[in-house]
Structure 1
Amino acid sequence: MGKIKNRWLIAASAVGIHISIGSVYAWSVFTKPLIQKFGWELADTQFTFSLAIFFLGISAAFLGHYLEKKGPRKSGLLAAIFFGIGIAGSGLAIYLESIYLLYLFYGVFGGIGLGLGYITPVSTLVKWFPDKRGLATGLAIMGFGFAALISSPVIVYLISAVGIASTFFIMGGLYFIIIFFSSLYLAPPPKDWVPKGFHATEASGKKRVQQDLSQLTANEAVKTKRFWYLWLMLFINISCGIAIISVASPMAQEYAGMTVVAAATMVGIMGLFNGAGRIGWASFSDYIGRPAMYTIFFAIQVVAFFILPTATNPIVFQGIIFLILSCYGGGFATIPAYIGDVFGTKQLGAIHGYILTAWAAAGMAGPLFAAWTRTVSDNYNVTLYFFAGLLVVALIFSFLIQRDIKKLKAKNLKTEIKAEPVTPVLEVLES
């Protein structure tokens, strides 16, 4: 037998990949320089980001089976190629002054790299951490949430020093190198591998280890109600979170009377809570279970969205916003572990890819609805109350999936009892 890889180095590799692809959240720092240089409209430049998120969801769905077939290393290397070409190619688009080439490279090629790079390390981590699924996926996806805090100042400096096109060339090469070398260490655990002390922990009863409810393929999973409950819950959670992100600054000025500078500072801090929520809530889900965690997400946000229009105190307003963003990030980080619990690890990457189409849909729906309601009303009240209502629906779904899970557990228990061998009475008497 070959030497078994260190699962914490697998986690470090996953963080490296997600910190690179998560730089997509720093797109806004390109917006103003592009408008000033070429005179493009804000909507035109923002569409680049929307297109990248759309292709993230679509490519995750279509390339999930490639991940399962070829393994995480080849999948990660392909992600490095697509994302590296996407970012470096954007430099060529800027050099040629073509926004359509920018859509092609950053939106399409970069988006495909995003989708494949997102699901590859996460699906691998779930298999390496059967005892700490929430913590493991939270670590990787926290990297995605925090990436903008790292890459934004670097990009701003490079733009001022070498120009927009060269910044894309440099960052594209850097991301390619990080993703490429991080992917080389990725590998699934050996068959039937468990971490040291795993069985002893189970036997002692000191800590209850979550058992997978089933082992389904992606095509089997999409035929279950549980899949669509998860899809809808993630769609609603992302739609509401993205809507808040897209209008946080003007909303803070309108409701809490914050200055432009103070509102901008709040937006920066939102990134911290987005990232912290990913590791914090996901780790907490290891103790209370994923179904309970999602119920808590929606219960918190229903209250938060209802009271936000009345929060005129800046501190209270920001506290509510930060709480919502932590739940938004936590929803991303908890869903891979939830998928593993419910559908098993047989084709987790492919199932996760299908689920992430909810992100593609929400990335379009959330900001567009927020912008539309603001244009047809005098304030954001309609937007907030509508999303509060949506979150009530998501809360109902969280109870429905719990009921479905209880039925499946009962069914599994009956199957186990029937499968147990019955010792003949005569044999017992003789002994």
Structure 2
Amino acid sequence: MSKTKNRWLIAAAAVGIHISIGSVYSWSVFTNPLKEAHNWGLSEISLTFSIAILFLGLSAAFMGHFVEKYGPRTSGILSSICFGAGLIGAGFAESIGSLYLMYFFYGALGGIGLGIGYITPVSSLVKWFPDRRGLATGLAIMGFGFASLIASPVIASLISSAGIDKTFYILGAVYFIIMIASSLYLSPPPKGWLPEGMKGNKEISQEKNRDLSQLTANEAIKTIRFWALWAMLFINVTCGIAIISVASPMAQDVAGLSAAAAAAMVGIMGLFNGFGRIGWATVSDYIGRPNVYTAFFAIQTVAFLLLPSISNAILFQLIIFLILTCYGGGFASIPAYIGDLFGTKQLGAIHGYILTAWAAAGLAGPLVVSWIRETTNSYSLTLFIFGGAFVCALSISLLIRLNIKKLRETNLYTSSNSVKPS
């Protein structure tokens, strides 16, 4: 028999993939150099990032079944090829000054690599960590959140020393190597495998069987629970991305921060986004995913309704940081929530479908907040509207509990009636 792999190294491999593709959040570092080199407009350059996020959501949705069918190793290799080729192609596009090729390589091809890479490790991690689903998926998705803190200064240094095109070439090669190495170690656990702490303990070893159901992706999307998760993620991401997109000018307008202080706040926001991913996901292992999501929306309802009236700079920033932990935590906790509700049969495919909420929110959030700001010349109405959206999300998080309770009672009834007396 072959030796069983170390599940913590599986988690490290997942982080390797996510910390590579998460560098997409450092796209803004390229903005000014590209503008100066080619005289491209700000909106034209920003569209590259929007295309990448759009293709992330679309490829996650359409390639989820591919991930489940061919496994994490094959899908990870495909992600490595697409993302690495996308970056190298972006270098070529920059060298000849072609914006449309930049859209194709970095936006479309790189975006496909992003989507496949994002969902690739998740299904395996949930199976390797039946006792710590939240912690495992939180670790990987934390890597995606923290990636820009590492990548941004490296990219800035490479651009100044090697040029824009060579920066893309170097990044493409380095990330390709990291992702390939990580992908080659990924694999699902052997059939029937359990971690040492669960072996021999009948109550704990039944953790897998406590999932509400074992559904395929096509079965899952026909349930109320799926669309409740989709709506909750959409609202959480829409409002979070909106805050991220206008954090600096809003801090200056509402709380009176200087431009330098607001810029520093934006940098620190990345830390809270990352820590929120691992922190909330770990907490969800102890208090349950339904409780965590209810906490997200209760906290953010109060936070968004308070923000317009807060002029104290420190308090304003603390509330923004709290919102960012909930934003990151929503991403990290959703895979474990999917496993709880639909099982692990096709978790990757279901996760891919759910991530279309991210693609939709990535387009809706910044557009809504910018339009309302320009129309009303104030951020207050935007924050009140988002506060109202979180009231809706809070209601959904409470209603889904009723659906879960009803299904659990049905499962118990069916189970008890299926046992025949001896």
Which stretch has the larger CA shift, 410-419 or 190-199? 190-199
Q: Which residue does the alignment assign to 2:141? A: 141
Q: 1:200 to 1:310 in 2, by over 3 A?
A: farther
Shift of 1:208: 7.7
> Displacement, 1:415?
1.0
Question: How big is the shift at 1:36?
Answer: 1.4
- How far did residue 382 of structure 1 move? 1.2
Matches within 5 A, 1:17-166: 17-166=17-166
Deviations 1:48-97 (A, max 9, x none): 11110000000000000101111100000000000001111100010010
Do 1:216 and 1:347's aligned partners in 2 also have CA atoms closer than 8 Å? yes
Q: Is 1:411 matched with 2:410?
A: yes
**1:426 maps to what in 2?**
none
3-state SS of paired residue (2:210): coil
C-alpha contact (below 8 Å) 2:130/2:207 kept by paired residues: no
Q: Distance in 2 between matches of 1:203 and 1:365?
A: 45
- Following the alignment from structure 1 to structure 2, what is the Cα–Cα distance between the partners of residues 243 and 330? 16
Report the counterpart of residue 221 of structure 1 in structure 2.
220
1:363 aligns with 362
The aligned counterpart of 2:6 is 6
Within 5 A, what are the aligned runs for 1:141-290?
A: 141-201=141-201, 203=203, 211-290=210-289
Change (3 A) 1:24 1:421: same
Residues 150 and 204 of structure 1, relative CA distance in 2, 3 Å threshold:
closer
For the 8 Å contact 2:198–2:204, the answer to whether it is kept is no
**Aligned-partner SS, 1:274:** helix
Partners of 1:74 and 1:311 lie apart in 2 by 50
TM-score (norm. length: structure 1): 0.96
Report deviation, 1:3. Answer: 1.0
Amino acid at match of 2:165: A
**1:191-239 C-alpha deviation (Å, 9 max, x unpaired):** 111111214455389x988821110000000000000000000000000
Describe the shift of the 1:265–1:347 C-alpha distance in structure 2 as closer, same or farther (beyond 3 A): same
Counterparts of 1:277 and 1:202 in 2: how far apart (Å)?
A: 33
- Amino acid across the alignment from 2:319: I
Q: How far apart are 1:110 and its partner, in Å?
A: 0.5
Structure 1, gaps ≥5 residues long = 424-431
Amino acid at match of 2:347: L
SS at match of 1:197: helix
Could you tell me which residue of structure 2 aligns to residue 398 of structure 1? Answer: 397
Distance 1:35 1:162 in 2: 17
- Residues 296-349 of structure 1, C-alpha deviation per residue, up to 9 Å, x if partnerless? 000000000000011111100000000000000000000000000000000000
Instruction: Return the alpha-carbon distance in structure 1 between the equivalents of residues 51 and 129 of structure 2.
Output: 33
Return the letter of the residue paired with 2:43.
A
1:308 matched residue in structure 2: 307
- 2:332 aligns to what? 333
Contact 1:131 / 1:210 at 8 angstroms: preserved in 2?
A: no
Q: CA–CA distance in 1 between the matches of 2:161 and 2:140?
A: 31
Tell me how far 1:421 sits from its aligned partner: 2.5
The 2-side partners of 1:339 and 1:39 are apart by 45
Looking at structure 2, the residues matched to 406 and 191 of structure 1 have their Cα atoms a distance apart, in angstroms, of 30
Measured in 2, the distance between the counterparts of 1:201 and 1:241 equals 41
User: Residues 78 and 113 of structure 1 are in contact (CA less than 8 Å); yes or no, is this contact kept in structure 2?
Assistant: yes
One-letter identity of the residue aligned with 1:157: S
Shift in CA distance, 226/69, structure 1 to aligned 2, threshold 3 Å: same
Distance in 2 (CA, whole Å) between partners of 1:365 and 1:97 is 30
Q: Which has the larger radius of gyration?
A: 1
Confirm or deny: 8 A CA contact 1:210 1:341 kept in the other structure.
no
Per the TM alignment, residue 378 of structure 1 is displaced from its structure 2 partner at its CA by 1.8
When the two chains are superposed, the root-mean-square deviation of aligned CA atoms in Å is 1.3
CA contact (8 A) 1:50 1:364 kept: yes
Partner of 2:317: 318
Query: Which residue in the other structure is 1:345 paired with?
Result: 344
Aligned mates of 1:329, 1:408 — CA distance in 2: 29
How far the C-alpha of 1:131 sits from its partner, in A, is: 0.3
Q: Is the 8 A contact 1:73 1:187 kept in 2?
A: yes
**CA contact 1:202–1:209 (8 Å) conserved in 2:** no
Q: Is the 8 A contact 1:202 1:208 kept in 2?
A: no
- The alpha-carbon deviation at position 420 of structure 1 amounts to 1.4
- Paired residue secondary structure (1:116): helix
SS at match of 1:97: coil
Shift of 1:18: 0.3
Percent of residue pairs bearing the same amino acid type: 66
Distance 1:313 1:40 in 2: 38
After superposition, the C-alpha distances for 1:216-265 in whole angstroms (9 at most, x for unaligned) are: 00000000000000000000000000000000000010111111110000
Q: Distance in 1 between matches of 2:179 and 2:411?
A: 40
1:200 and 1:260 map into 2 onto residues whose CA distance is 59
Check conservation: 2:256, 2:311, Cα contact below 8 A. Answer: yes
Question: 2:63 is aligned with what amino acid?
Answer: L
| CA distance in structure 2 between the partners assigned to 1:197 and 1:29 by the alignment | 45
The aligned length equals: 422
TM-score, L = length of structure 2: 0.98
